[in-house]
Amino acid sequence: MVHSRRKKSNKLDCLVDEVKAVLQSTVKRGDHLTVGLSGGVDSVVLLDILSIISRKMLFTLSAAHVNHGISSRSADWSHFCCRQCYASGIPIFVTYVKVKKVTGASLEAVAREKRYRVFSQLAGNYLVLAQHQDDQAETLLLQLFRGAGVRGLSAMPVMRKQTISKAPSILRPLLDISRAEIETYARQRGLTWIHDGSNDDRSFNRNFLRHEVLPVLGRRYPTYAKTLLRTSQHMAEASALLDELAEADAQSCVTDGNLYIPALRELSQSRAKNLLRYLLHRHHVPFPSTIKLDEILNQLRYAKKDAQVQVIVGGAEIRCFKDFMYIVPQQTKPLEHLQRRWQGEPSVQLAELGGLLRFISKQGQGLSAHKLKQGPVFIKVREGGEHFTPDCKRPRRSLKNLMQEASIPPWQRFTLPLLFCGEKLAWVPGIGTDCELQAAPEEMGIVPEWRVGNSFK
């Protein structure tokens, strides 16, 4: 009996040691780790293992639970997660989100997107998720049946950064551990967890694979999960090589993040498509279908220089202007009116225009701080008919012509913040300041800077 207990303890210790080995390659003393806790057996085991390891590695541990409100038992699951954490002295953060069916996307996909949006806003160094070896196998097969390319067939990495720079990196320390090992650990440790009945619903593709297909594969190929993991790792290596090729092509084809179309036309069909996928990925745009990607490439290859190319893909738009391709957020109806009073703040967030306007004090540059005090200063958008004099040696001209000369793309011309002093147009992004309001060399000036997004690097 003593021998049996020692054997059982060794199995538990082995699992803890495997997770600890993964953590030791990335996590440092004092780091903050947050477990994505659903209440299922996988995340409950992960929380238990990390609580053991944290005492030796001395990192801070907390949990995050997202209540999607889809199941009638959602509140019970949230309460369960809270009780688990309170019993272990682990802080927990619970978020409630609303998940609605979206045309063209499954409810699972929408819930996942909402969940990861919450995860991207968490504090700390790492968000630790409980995906394991069987999850890898299921994901590979699902992607294969969707006709995914090399990147889609790549393995989930043990660690990856989220798209938001300040978000915690995602860490998956259970990827080499099977579902059976996790469940054995849970039973031997006497852990409790919740069972989501939707995981038994065979109408969901993943559940169909898990309950109907994989057991059959397992009887014929007992080590299929490890084999498929190896395949995914090969795909990840191939994807990395394709990214390296795209980066090399971007050196000669991309300027300031925008694609130079004549250079794209010099590439082979395969390399051109690879570069387009790479650029879409860099802009966080979901990959289009093969047909859609071919459509985009054909328009870029054969469109005339002044053609109005506009292709919508994954919440973004492909636009062309003067031999360059731009990837921009999908355009909504232009603002017909905007008037925001500026009262000396160092920066103004303009959510309506999707960016941040910053004001920097510099001697002898930009707008005269003294002259700006002579009238109220407003931030507006172009309405048409504005005139401007950025060059004191040239006559007053229409803003429309100045924007054309400055090569400002047409779709941006009504979404730029214009600065007015009283009724006078004082500053235009990409063009400059009005001649009469420019700061003299000896006086303090204010230099406005416009950045799409919410921060300056």
Report the side by side order of strands in the sheet with 444-452: 347-350, 355-363, 444-452, 367-368
The Cα–Cα gap between 118 and 161 comes to: 15
Residue 105 DSSP code: B
The count of C-alpha atoms lying within 13 angstroms of the C-alpha of 290, restricted to the half-sphere facing its C-beta, is: 7
Distance of CA 265 to the CA centre of its chain: 29
How does pLDDT run across 356-400, given as a tens digit for each residue?
999 999 999 999 988 888 889 999 998 888 888 888 888 888 999
Residue located via tokens 């199995």: 11
Rg (CA), the chain: 28
* Dihedral angle sign, alpha carbons of residues 15, 19, 25, 27: negative
C-alpha torsion angle, residues 266, 269, 273, 276 (rounded to 10): 20
The helix or strand, by DSSP H or E, that contains position 247, with its residue range, turns out to be helix 224-253
User: Please, which contacts does 176-179 make with residues 24 or more away whose CB atoms are closer than 8 Å?
Assistant: 176/18, 176/133, 176/229, 177/15, 177/18, 177/19, 177/132, 177/133, 178/132, 178/133, 178/134, 178/225, 179/42, 179/132, 179/133, 179/134
The distance in angstroms from the start CA to the end CA of the chain is 63
CA 286 to chain centre: 10
Tell me the per-residue pLDDT of 249-271, one tens digit each, with 9 for 90 and over: 999 999 988 999 999 999 999 99
Residue 444, H or E segment: strand 444-452
Band of pLDDT at residue 114, cut at 50, 70 and 90: confident
Picking from 343, 334, 335, 309, the residue whose alpha carbon sits closest to that of residue 323 is 309
Taking a C-beta distance cutoff of 8 angstroms, is the pair 64, 118 a contact? yes
- The confidence score (pLDDT) of residue 100 equals 77
Could you give the CA distance from residue 296 to residue 433 in angstroms, rounded to a whole number? 38
β-sheet bridge partners, residue 398: 387
Cα distance between residue 247 and residue 417, in whole Å: 33
Say if residues 95 and 127 touch (Cβ distance below 8 Å). no
Q: What CA–CA distance (Å, rounded) separates 239 from 62?
A: 34
Token readout for 283 is 């802009």
Q: What is the pLDDT of residues 411-447, one digit of tens each?
A: 888 889 999 998 899 999 999 899 989 999 888 999 9
Q: HSE-up of 261 (CA within 13 Å, CB side)?
A: 23
d(CA 319, CA 300): 10
Taking alpha carbons only, the member of 76, 99, 93 closest to residue 127 is 93
Helix (H) or strand (E) holding 287: none
Contact 342, 348 (CB under 8 A): yes
Beta partners for 320?
Answer: 325
Q: What is the pLDDT of residues 1-54, one digit of tens each?
A: 444 444 555 667 889 999 999 999 999 999 999 999 999 999 999 999 999 999
Contact 383, 412 (CB under 8 A): no
| SS3 call for 380 | strand
What pTM was estimated for this model as a whole? Answer: 0.77
pLDDT per residue as tens digits for the range 269-314 = 999 999 999 999 888 888 888 899 999 999 998 877 777 788 888 8
* pLDDT band at residue 99 using 50, 70 and 90 as cut-offs: confident
In sequence order, which residues have a C-beta less than 8 Å from that of residue 66 and are 6 or more positions away? 36, 94, 95, 97, 114, 115, 118, 119
Give pLDDT, residue 455: 43
What pLDDT, on the 0 to 100 scale, is given for residue 91? Answer: 96
Mean pLDDT of 149-161: 89
Alpha carbon dihedral 328, 330, 333, 337, in 10-degree steps, equals -40
